[in-house]
């Protein structure tokens, strides 16, 4: 998979070169490149924003640099991902779908957003997905792109050291939150690990974990049980 990220703060994306993502890049499974939007400007001040037509607070990102950046970086097979609080809520299902793509281009906006014509034109030429991380507001799309990329990349076959750890996690196929987990020692600060986990009875352990997952989901995310 190839991932290109366009931003006026490409240093935000430096974390992608660390850890698991860094390993996958050296193995050739994944190529991630970041691009400074200002390199696609032509004026002396490298301006990327301007005042909104119709008035109002804040600034809007200009179409010219975005148009040229997307022209230069987006392949015919690419999905253009636009992180925005007005997008479709991101889910594990979307991460699974994106993990099967050959090429993702992330367009990280700042300020009040990107001129709508950029999104409209991109949508006429490529597949475009406007995605939100949830009902809260970040200053820009960079942190959201990091989160989306991490969720997607760990699903690319061969990326995870131990693919079994993908099987039982929260938001898997059964739509339940994950059950609580414990490790040694069996007693810590007067708190004991639930006895069933020490019993060696695998059927009882599986039943207890399922019950814990359902109860946790009922308390924290009841809408997932419907």
- Say if strands 103-107 and 127-132 run parallel, antiparallel, or are unpaired: unpaired
Q: Shortest distance, CB of residue 7 to ligand 6GU, whole angstroms? A: 12
The pair of structure tokens assigned to 113 is 């957003």
- Does 113 bind ligand 6GU (CB under 6 A)? Our answer is no
Query: DSSP letter at 178?
Result: P
- Does 34 bind ligand 6GU (CB under 6 A)? Our answer is no
Q: Shortest distance, CB of residue 83 to ligand 6GU, whole angstroms? A: 3
Evaluated on CA atoms 81, 85, 87, 91, the torsion sign reads positive
CA–CA distance, 182 with 173 (Å, rounded to integer): 23
- Does 7 bind ligand 6GU (CB under 6 A)? Our answer is no
CA–CA distance, 208 with 197 (Å, rounded to integer): 9
Q: Which is nearer to ligand 6GU, 65 or 140 (CB)?
A: 140
- Site residues for ligand 6GU, window 46-85 (CB under 6 A)? 83-85
- Does 133 bind ligand 6GU (CB under 6 A)? Our answer is yes
- Say if strands 103-107 and 60-61 run parallel, antiparallel, or are unpaired: unpaired
Residues at the site binding ligand 6GU, with contacts judged by CB under 6 A = 83-85, 87, 131-134, 136-138, 140-141, 144
């Amino acid at each position: 998979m190839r991932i290109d990220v366009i931003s006026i703060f490409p240093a935000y994306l430096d974390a992608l070169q660390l850890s698991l993502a860094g390993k996958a890049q050296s193995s050739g499974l994944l190529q991630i490149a970041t691009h400074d939007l200002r390199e696609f400007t032509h004026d002396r001040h490298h301006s990327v924003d301007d005042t909104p037509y119709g008035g109002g607070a804040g600034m809007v990102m200009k179409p010219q640099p975005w148009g040229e950046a997307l022209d230069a970086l987006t392949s015919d097979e690419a999905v253009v991902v636009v992180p925005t609080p007005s997008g479709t809520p991101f889910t594990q299902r979307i991460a699974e779908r994106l993990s099967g793509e050959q090429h993702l281009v992330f367009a990280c906006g700042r300020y009040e957003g990107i001129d709508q014509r950029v999104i409209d034109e991109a949508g006429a030429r490529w597949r475009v997905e406007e995605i939100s991380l949830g009902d809260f507001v970040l200053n820009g799309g960079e942190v959201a792109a990091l989160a989306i990329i991490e969720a997607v990349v760990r699903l690319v076959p061969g990326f995870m050291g131990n693919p079994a750890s993908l099987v039982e996690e929260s938001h898997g196929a059964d739509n339940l939150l994950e059950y609580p987990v414990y490790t040694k020692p069996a007693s810590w600060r007067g708190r004991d690990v639930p006895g069933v986990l020490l019993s060696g009875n695998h059927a009882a352990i599986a039943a207890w974990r399922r019950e814990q997952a359902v109860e946790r989901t009922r308390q924290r995310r009841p809408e997932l049980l419907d």
